[in-house]
Structure 1
Amino acid sequence: MNEFFLVNNRSITIGDINIRQLCMHNFDEWGLAAQAVKGYLKGHSDEINGELLKAHTSHVFTLLSKSTHLDETALISIAEASESLLIQLVGAMIKVNDAFFSEKESKRKSRRKSQSKNADQANWFDSFQLLIESGHHSADIMQMTYGAFISYLKAAQKQRSQNLLTNTHLMRAAQHAKDKAYAKLTDELKPSDD
Protein backbone atom coordinates (compact mmCIF):
# COMPACT_ATOMS: atom_id res chain seq x y z
CA MET A 1 0.00 0.00 0.00
CA ASN A 2 1.25 3.50 -0.73
CA GLU A 3 1.88 6.31 1.74
CA PHE A 4 -1.46 8.03 1.11
CA PHE A 5 -3.32 4.78 1.79
CA LEU A 6 -1.48 4.53 5.13
CA VAL A 7 -1.78 8.16 6.20
CA ASN A 8 -5.47 8.42 5.28
CA ASN A 9 -6.24 5.18 7.15
CA ARG A 10 -7.95 3.72 4.11
CA SER A 11 -9.54 0.29 4.04
CA ILE A 12 -10.68 -2.45 1.65
CA THR A 13 -14.27 -3.64 1.37
CA ILE A 14 -15.23 -7.20 0.52
CA GLY A 15 -18.97 -7.54 0.16
CA ASP A 16 -20.33 -5.53 3.06
CA ILE A 17 -17.29 -6.15 5.27
CA ASN A 18 -14.86 -3.27 5.69
CA ILE A 19 -11.27 -4.33 6.49
CA ARG A 20 -9.35 -1.55 8.22
CA GLN A 21 -5.72 -1.05 9.10
CA LEU A 22 -4.62 -2.17 12.55
CA CYS A 23 -3.96 0.75 14.92
CA MET A 24 -1.37 1.46 17.59
CA HIS A 25 -3.86 2.06 20.42
CA ASN A 26 -4.62 -1.65 20.63
CA PHE A 27 -1.27 -3.05 19.51
CA ASP A 28 -1.12 -5.09 22.71
CA GLU A 29 -4.32 -6.86 21.64
CA TRP A 30 -3.29 -7.76 18.10
CA GLY A 31 0.54 -7.66 18.07
CA LEU A 32 1.19 -11.23 19.25
CA ALA A 33 -1.45 -12.69 16.93
CA ALA A 34 -0.04 -10.75 13.98
CA GLN A 35 3.49 -11.88 14.84
CA ALA A 36 2.36 -15.52 14.86
CA VAL A 37 0.64 -15.18 11.46
CA LYS A 38 3.66 -13.31 10.08
CA GLY A 39 5.94 -16.10 11.30
CA TYR A 40 3.73 -18.69 9.62
CA LEU A 41 3.72 -16.75 6.33
CA LYS A 42 7.49 -16.38 6.49
CA GLY A 43 7.96 -20.15 6.81
CA HIS A 44 5.33 -21.04 4.20
CA SER A 45 4.34 -19.62 0.87
CA ASP A 46 2.68 -16.23 0.94
CA GLU A 47 -0.50 -17.87 -0.31
CA ILE A 48 -3.33 -17.64 2.20
CA ASN A 49 -5.06 -21.00 2.49
CA GLY A 50 -6.85 -23.37 4.82
CA GLU A 51 -3.55 -24.50 6.38
CA LEU A 52 -3.02 -21.01 7.84
CA LEU A 53 -6.56 -21.04 9.20
CA LYS A 54 -6.03 -24.44 10.83
CA ALA A 55 -2.62 -23.59 12.25
CA HIS A 56 -3.59 -20.16 13.63
CA THR A 57 -7.37 -20.06 13.95
CA SER A 58 -7.48 -17.96 17.11
CA HIS A 59 -4.81 -15.57 15.82
CA VAL A 60 -6.64 -15.11 12.52
CA PHE A 61 -9.94 -14.45 14.29
CA THR A 62 -8.27 -11.96 16.64
CA LEU A 63 -6.75 -10.06 13.72
CA LEU A 64 -9.98 -10.05 11.74
CA SER A 65 -12.01 -8.87 14.72
CA LYS A 66 -9.55 -6.00 15.27
CA SER A 67 -9.57 -4.99 11.60
CA THR A 68 -13.30 -5.39 10.87
CA HIS A 69 -16.55 -4.51 12.57
CA LEU A 70 -17.21 -8.22 13.21
CA ASP A 71 -16.87 -10.02 16.51
CA GLU A 72 -15.45 -13.53 16.76
CA THR A 73 -18.93 -15.12 16.76
CA ALA A 74 -19.72 -13.53 13.39
CA LEU A 75 -16.34 -14.63 12.05
CA ILE A 76 -17.01 -18.22 13.14
CA SER A 77 -20.32 -18.06 11.26
CA ILE A 78 -18.51 -16.85 8.14
CA ALA A 79 -15.93 -19.64 8.50
CA GLU A 80 -18.68 -22.26 8.80
CA ALA A 81 -20.60 -20.84 5.83
CA SER A 82 -17.70 -20.19 3.44
CA GLU A 83 -14.03 -20.93 3.99
CA SER A 84 -13.23 -19.17 0.70
CA LEU A 85 -14.79 -15.91 1.99
CA LEU A 86 -12.79 -16.22 5.20
CA ILE A 87 -9.61 -16.75 3.16
CA GLN A 88 -10.48 -13.64 1.12
CA LEU A 89 -10.92 -11.63 4.32
CA VAL A 90 -7.61 -12.86 5.72
CA GLY A 91 -5.86 -12.03 2.43
CA ALA A 92 -7.35 -8.54 2.43
CA MET A 93 -6.43 -8.04 6.11
CA ILE A 94 -2.82 -8.98 5.34
CA LYS A 95 -2.79 -6.73 2.25
CA VAL A 96 -4.24 -3.74 4.13
CA ASN A 97 -1.69 -4.26 6.91
CA ASP A 98 1.21 -4.94 4.57
CA ALA A 99 3.40 -2.52 6.55
CA PHE A 100 3.43 -5.06 9.38
CA PHE A 101 3.35 -8.32 7.46
CA SER A 102 6.05 -7.42 4.93
CA GLU A 103 8.29 -5.66 7.45
CA LYS A 104 11.64 -7.39 7.71
CA GLU A 105 13.37 -7.69 11.06
CA SER A 106 16.62 -5.77 11.00
CA LYS A 107 19.81 -7.23 12.40
CA ARG A 108 19.92 -4.38 14.89
CA LYS A 109 16.44 -5.24 16.14
CA SER A 110 17.30 -8.93 16.63
CA ARG A 111 20.42 -7.99 18.63
CA ARG A 112 18.26 -5.84 20.88
CA LYS A 113 15.83 -8.71 21.43
CA SER A 114 18.60 -10.91 22.74
CA GLN A 115 19.81 -8.27 25.22
CA SER A 116 16.75 -8.06 27.47
CA LYS A 117 12.99 -7.88 27.57
CA ASN A 118 13.13 -4.39 29.13
CA ALA A 119 14.85 -3.10 26.01
CA ASP A 120 11.65 -3.74 24.01
CA GLN A 121 9.54 -1.70 26.45
CA ALA A 122 12.04 1.13 26.36
CA ASN A 123 12.10 0.90 22.58
CA TRP A 124 8.39 1.74 22.29
CA PHE A 125 8.75 4.74 24.57
CA ASP A 126 11.87 5.81 22.68
CA SER A 127 9.95 5.56 19.41
CA PHE A 128 7.06 7.57 20.80
CA GLN A 129 9.47 10.16 22.19
CA LEU A 130 11.16 10.53 18.82
CA LEU A 131 7.80 11.18 17.18
CA ILE A 132 6.83 13.63 19.93
CA GLU A 133 10.12 15.51 19.37
CA SER A 134 9.17 15.65 15.69
CA GLY A 135 5.90 17.41 16.53
CA HIS A 136 3.41 14.56 16.93
CA HIS A 137 1.19 14.30 20.01
CA SER A 138 0.89 11.17 22.11
CA ALA A 139 -2.86 10.87 21.53
CA ASP A 140 -2.37 11.24 17.78
CA ILE A 141 0.34 8.56 17.76
CA MET A 142 -2.00 6.12 19.50
CA GLN A 143 -4.63 6.66 16.79
CA MET A 144 -2.15 6.05 13.97
CA THR A 145 -2.27 2.86 12.02
CA TYR A 146 0.78 0.64 12.39
CA GLY A 147 1.85 1.48 8.82
CA ALA A 148 1.60 5.23 9.39
CA PHE A 149 3.43 4.89 12.72
CA ILE A 150 6.34 3.04 11.12
CA SER A 151 6.49 5.47 8.19
CA TYR A 152 6.50 8.53 10.46
CA LEU A 153 9.10 6.86 12.67
CA LYS A 154 11.40 6.21 9.71
CA ALA A 155 10.97 9.81 8.56
CA ALA A 156 11.80 11.12 12.06
CA GLN A 157 14.87 8.88 12.25
CA LYS A 158 15.99 10.09 8.83
CA GLN A 159 15.50 13.71 9.88
CA ARG A 160 17.42 13.16 13.12
CA SER A 161 20.33 11.61 11.19
CA GLN A 162 20.31 14.50 8.72
CA ASN A 163 20.33 17.02 11.59
CA LEU A 164 23.28 15.25 13.23
CA LEU A 165 25.18 15.24 9.94
CA THR A 166 24.46 18.94 9.42
CA ASN A 167 25.60 19.75 12.97
CA THR A 168 28.78 17.73 12.44
CA HIS A 169 29.56 19.67 9.26
CA LEU A 170 28.89 22.97 11.02
CA MET A 171 31.13 22.05 13.95
CA ARG A 172 33.92 21.09 11.60
CA ALA A 173 33.50 24.29 9.57
CA ALA A 174 33.43 26.39 12.75
CA GLN A 175 36.49 24.64 14.13
CA HIS A 176 38.59 25.38 11.04
CA ALA A 177 37.23 28.84 10.27
CA LYS A 178 39.11 32.03 10.96
CA ASP A 179 37.35 34.70 13.03
CA LYS A 180 35.88 36.55 10.03
CA ALA A 181 34.82 33.33 8.30
CA TYR A 182 33.21 32.08 11.51
CA ALA A 183 31.30 35.34 11.96
CA LYS A 184 30.12 35.12 8.33
CA LEU A 185 28.99 31.50 8.87
CA THR A 186 26.97 32.36 11.98
CA ASP A 187 25.40 35.36 10.22
CA GLU A 188 24.30 33.11 7.34
CA LEU A 189 22.70 30.67 9.77
CA LYS A 190 20.64 33.30 11.61
CA PRO A 191 17.01 33.51 10.50
CA SER A 192 16.28 36.50 8.31
CA ASP A 193 13.64 39.10 9.18
CA ASP A 194 12.02 38.91 5.71
Structure 2
Amino acid sequence: MNDFFLAANRTFQFSDIEVKQIQMKSLDLFSQHAETVKEFLADKNYSDEILIELFKAHTVEVIHTCVMTSNLTADRIFDIAKDQALFLDMLRAVLTVNTAYFKPEKPKRRTKQSNEKSTWFDSFQYLIDCGHRHDDIMNMPYGAFTQYLKAAQRNELRKMRSQVNLMRSAQHAQNREFKKLLEDLKVVD
Protein backbone atom coordinates (compact mmCIF):
# COMPACT_ATOMS: atom_id res chain seq x y z
CA MET A 1 0.00 0.00 0.00
CA ASN A 2 1.27 3.46 -0.75
CA ASP A 3 2.00 6.28 1.71
CA PHE A 4 -1.28 8.11 1.06
CA PHE A 5 -3.30 4.93 1.60
CA LEU A 6 -1.59 4.52 4.98
CA ALA A 7 -1.75 8.18 6.03
CA ALA A 8 -5.43 8.58 5.08
CA ASN A 9 -6.37 5.36 6.91
CA ARG A 10 -8.11 4.12 3.78
CA THR A 11 -9.85 0.81 3.45
CA PHE A 12 -9.93 -1.73 0.64
CA GLN A 13 -13.38 -2.65 -0.64
CA PHE A 14 -14.40 -5.61 -2.76
CA SER A 15 -17.77 -7.28 -3.03
CA ASP A 16 -19.48 -6.44 0.30
CA ILE A 17 -16.22 -6.83 2.22
CA GLU A 18 -14.35 -3.85 3.60
CA VAL A 19 -10.79 -4.50 4.76
CA LYS A 20 -9.41 -1.95 7.24
CA GLN A 21 -5.98 -1.06 8.53
CA ILE A 22 -5.41 -1.94 12.16
CA GLN A 23 -5.24 1.17 14.33
CA MET A 24 -2.73 1.73 17.11
CA LYS A 25 -5.46 1.83 19.77
CA SER A 26 -6.39 -1.78 18.91
CA LEU A 27 -2.90 -3.15 18.34
CA ASP A 28 -2.71 -5.00 21.66
CA LEU A 29 -5.97 -6.86 20.98
CA PHE A 30 -5.06 -7.48 17.35
CA SER A 31 -1.60 -8.82 18.06
CA GLN A 32 -2.89 -11.46 20.48
CA HIS A 33 -4.00 -13.51 17.47
CA ALA A 34 -2.27 -11.82 14.54
CA GLU A 35 1.19 -12.56 15.94
CA THR A 36 0.59 -16.28 15.34
CA VAL A 37 -0.40 -15.51 11.75
CA LYS A 38 2.67 -13.30 11.34
CA GLU A 39 5.02 -15.97 12.68
CA PHE A 40 3.48 -18.64 10.44
CA LEU A 41 3.88 -16.44 7.35
CA ALA A 42 7.41 -15.24 8.16
CA ASP A 43 9.43 -15.24 4.92
CA LYS A 44 6.59 -16.96 3.03
CA ASN A 45 4.51 -15.69 0.16
CA TYR A 46 0.74 -15.44 0.18
CA SER A 47 0.10 -18.29 -2.24
CA ASP A 48 -3.19 -20.17 -2.05
CA GLU A 49 -1.46 -23.25 -0.67
CA ILE A 50 0.27 -21.33 2.13
CA LEU A 51 -2.93 -19.49 3.10
CA ILE A 52 -4.95 -22.73 3.16
CA GLU A 53 -2.25 -24.30 5.33
CA LEU A 54 -2.36 -21.24 7.61
CA PHE A 55 -6.15 -21.45 7.97
CA LYS A 56 -6.05 -25.17 8.75
CA ALA A 57 -3.28 -24.77 11.34
CA HIS A 58 -4.56 -21.56 13.01
CA THR A 59 -8.27 -21.17 12.26
CA VAL A 60 -9.14 -19.18 15.39
CA GLU A 61 -6.26 -16.75 14.92
CA VAL A 62 -7.06 -16.20 11.24
CA ILE A 63 -10.76 -15.61 11.95
CA HIS A 64 -10.00 -13.18 14.78
CA THR A 65 -7.48 -11.30 12.63
CA CYS A 66 -10.05 -11.00 9.83
CA VAL A 67 -12.79 -9.86 12.24
CA MET A 68 -10.58 -7.07 13.59
CA THR A 69 -9.61 -5.84 10.12
CA SER A 70 -12.91 -6.12 8.29
CA ASN A 71 -16.56 -5.20 8.53
CA LEU A 72 -17.49 -8.87 9.01
CA THR A 73 -18.50 -10.98 11.97
CA ALA A 74 -16.93 -14.37 12.70
CA ASP A 75 -20.10 -16.11 11.46
CA ARG A 76 -19.99 -14.18 8.17
CA ILE A 77 -16.30 -15.07 7.74
CA PHE A 78 -17.11 -18.76 8.21
CA ASP A 79 -19.81 -18.38 5.52
CA ILE A 80 -17.28 -16.75 3.19
CA ALA A 81 -14.81 -19.57 3.93
CA LYS A 82 -17.19 -21.94 2.13
CA ASP A 83 -16.23 -20.12 -1.08
CA GLN A 84 -12.51 -20.84 -1.02
CA ALA A 85 -11.56 -18.34 -3.73
CA LEU A 86 -13.45 -15.48 -2.04
CA PHE A 87 -12.04 -16.38 1.36
CA LEU A 88 -8.46 -16.48 0.05
CA ASP A 89 -8.97 -13.11 -1.66
CA MET A 90 -10.27 -11.65 1.61
CA LEU A 91 -7.41 -13.10 3.67
CA ARG A 92 -4.84 -11.90 1.14
CA ALA A 93 -6.43 -8.42 1.26
CA VAL A 94 -6.23 -8.39 5.09
CA LEU A 95 -2.54 -9.32 4.91
CA THR A 96 -1.78 -6.82 2.15
CA VAL A 97 -3.64 -3.87 3.67
CA ASN A 98 -1.78 -4.54 6.93
CA THR A 99 1.61 -5.31 5.36
CA ALA A 100 3.36 -2.99 7.82
CA TYR A 101 2.42 -5.43 10.59
CA PHE A 102 2.75 -8.75 8.79
CA LYS A 103 5.88 -8.02 6.73
CA PRO A 104 7.81 -5.28 8.53
CA GLU A 105 10.82 -3.82 6.77
CA LYS A 106 14.16 -5.12 7.95
CA PRO A 107 16.38 -2.44 9.52
CA LYS A 108 18.97 -1.17 7.04
CA ARG A 109 21.75 -0.90 9.57
CA ARG A 110 22.53 -2.40 12.88
CA THR A 111 21.81 -0.47 15.98
CA LYS A 112 23.66 -0.89 19.22
CA GLN A 113 21.72 -2.80 21.81
CA SER A 114 21.02 -0.71 24.86
CA ASN A 115 20.46 -1.92 28.38
CA GLU A 116 17.50 0.46 28.57
CA LYS A 117 14.17 -1.10 27.76
CA SER A 118 12.20 0.79 25.17
CA THR A 119 8.41 0.82 25.46
CA TRP A 120 5.54 1.99 23.30
CA PHE A 121 5.47 5.10 25.46
CA ASP A 122 8.98 5.94 24.26
CA SER A 123 7.83 5.74 20.64
CA PHE A 124 4.74 7.79 21.43
CA GLN A 125 6.80 10.40 23.28
CA TYR A 126 9.20 10.62 20.37
CA LEU A 127 6.33 11.41 18.00
CA ILE A 128 4.77 13.80 20.52
CA ASP A 129 8.12 15.65 20.69
CA CYS A 130 7.89 15.92 16.90
CA GLY A 131 4.48 17.59 17.12
CA HIS A 132 1.99 14.71 17.01
CA ARG A 133 -0.79 14.46 19.58
CA HIS A 134 -1.54 11.37 21.66
CA ASP A 135 -5.10 11.00 20.35
CA ASP A 136 -3.88 11.34 16.77
CA ILE A 137 -1.26 8.64 17.33
CA MET A 138 -3.83 6.27 18.86
CA ASN A 139 -6.09 6.71 15.83
CA MET A 140 -3.28 6.17 13.32
CA PRO A 141 -3.13 2.93 11.42
CA TYR A 142 -0.11 0.88 12.42
CA GLY A 143 1.47 1.39 8.99
CA ALA A 144 1.21 5.17 9.24
CA PHE A 145 2.62 5.06 12.79
CA THR A 146 5.72 3.17 11.63
CA GLN A 147 6.24 5.52 8.69
CA TYR A 148 5.88 8.65 10.86
CA LEU A 149 8.35 7.16 13.33
CA LYS A 150 10.89 6.51 10.56
CA ALA A 151 10.37 10.00 9.11
CA ALA A 152 10.91 11.58 12.54
CA GLN A 153 14.12 9.58 12.99
CA ARG A 154 15.40 10.62 9.55
CA ASN A 155 14.57 14.26 10.35
CA GLU A 156 16.45 14.07 13.65
CA LEU A 157 19.49 12.57 11.91
CA ARG A 158 19.43 15.37 9.29
CA LYS A 159 19.33 17.97 12.07
CA MET A 160 22.23 16.33 13.91
CA ARG A 161 24.29 16.16 10.71
CA SER A 162 23.62 19.84 10.12
CA GLN A 163 24.63 20.71 13.69
CA VAL A 164 27.84 18.69 13.41
CA ASN A 165 28.73 20.47 10.18
CA LEU A 166 28.04 23.83 11.78
CA MET A 167 30.15 23.01 14.84
CA ARG A 168 33.01 21.91 12.64
CA SER A 169 32.75 25.05 10.50
CA ALA A 170 32.66 27.24 13.60
CA GLN A 171 35.60 25.46 15.18
CA HIS A 172 37.83 25.87 12.13
CA ALA A 173 36.72 29.37 11.19
CA GLN A 174 38.90 32.38 11.76
CA ASN A 175 37.35 35.25 13.74
CA ARG A 176 36.06 37.05 10.63
CA GLU A 177 34.75 33.84 9.04
CA PHE A 178 33.04 32.90 12.31
CA LYS A 179 31.26 36.27 12.45
CA LYS A 180 30.14 35.77 8.83
CA LEU A 181 28.86 32.30 9.67
CA LEU A 182 26.83 33.71 12.58
CA GLU A 183 25.54 36.49 10.34
CA ASP A 184 24.41 33.92 7.73
CA LEU A 185 22.48 32.04 10.43
CA LYS A 186 20.47 35.04 11.61
CA VAL A 187 16.73 34.88 11.08
CA VAL A 188 15.61 37.48 8.58
CA ASP A 189 12.32 39.25 9.42
Larger mean CA deviation between 139-148 and 6-15 belongs to: 6-15
Question: Paired residue for 1:62, among 51, 58, 64?
Answer: 64
Task: Give the stretch that moved more between structures: 43-52 or 172-181.
Answer: 43-52
Q: Which has the higher helix share?
A: 1
Whether the 8 Å CA contact 2:46–2:92 is kept in 1: the answer is no
Instruction: Give the Cα–Cα distance (whole angstroms) in 1 for the partners of residues 64 and 180 of structure 2.
Output: 61
Q: Secondary structure of the equivalent of 2:42?
A: helix
32-41 vs 170-179, which moves further: 32-41
TM-score normalized with structure 1 length:
0.85
Distance 2:167 2:36 in 1: 47
Tell me the distance in 1 between the aligned counterparts of 2:151 and 2:13. 29
TM-score, scaled relative to structure 2: 0.88
2:4 corresponds to: 4
**Aligned: 1:103 with 2:104:** yes
Q: 3-state SS of the aligned residue for 2:22?
A: coil
Cα deviation digits, residues 119-172 of structure 1 (max 9, x gap): 2xx342222122112111111011111111111111100000011111111111
The equivalences for 1:14-93 within 5 A come to 14-42=14-42, 44-48=44-48, 49-79=51-81, 81-93=82-94
| Equivalent residue in structure 2 for 1:167, among 147, 163, 166 | 163
Task: Name stretches of at least 5 consecutive residues in structure 2 with no aligned partner.
Answer: none
Q: Percentage identity across aligned positions?
A: 37
Match of 1:131 in 2: 127
2:87 and 2:71 map into 1 onto residues whose CA distance is: 14
Please provide the CA RMSD for this pair: 2.2
Secondary structure at the aligned position of 1:180 is classed as helix
Is 1:94 equivalent to 2:81 in the alignment?
A: no
Matched letter for residue 176 of structure 2: K
SS in 1 for 2:138: helix
Letter of the aligned partner of 2:158 in structure 1?
Q
User: In structure 2, how many angstroms separate the alpha carbons of the residues matched to 1:83 and 1:19?
Assistant: 17
